Amino acid sequence: MRNERLKTSRLEAELNQTQLAEILGYKGKQAVANWENGHSLPTLRVAMILADLFKKDVSYLFGLKVQGFHTKNNSKERI
């Protein structure tokens, strides 16, 4: 299911997907695009950062659905 609230919040902040990804420490926009298109979810930590950045509640942006942990190697911790 598409996340229109995340997309709208990003647009209200006048950020494109690449800019938001860079703020979060990602190399490309793919993670942001996947969250907005409903293909994946951010970790709780990233969801909290997004909520703070956009001045919204985590539950408003993501409901009760966030990823519980990273599925990639945790030795290179990202936001």
Q: What pTM did the predictor assign?
A: 0.80
Domain range annotation of the chain:
4-62
Spatial CB neighbours of 49, under 8 Å, sequence gap ≥ 6? 24, 79
What architecture does CATH give domain 4-62?
Orthogonal Bundle (1.10)
Range with lowest mean pLDDT among 9-13, 16-20, 32-36, 57-61: 57-61
**Tens digits of residue pLDDT in 65-76:** 665 554 444 444
| pLDDT value of residue 79 | 53
Quick: pLDDT tens for 32-74: 999 999 999 999 899 999 999 999 999 999 887 665 554 444 4
Mean pLDDT of 4-33: 97
Q: How far is CA 50 from the centre of its chain?
A: 6
In whole angstroms, what is the distance from residue 24 CA to residue 1 CA?
Answer: 23
CA distance 77 to 19: 20
Cα–Cα distance, 15 to 66 (Å, whole number): 22
Q: How far apart are CA 29 and CA 17, in angstroms?
A: 5
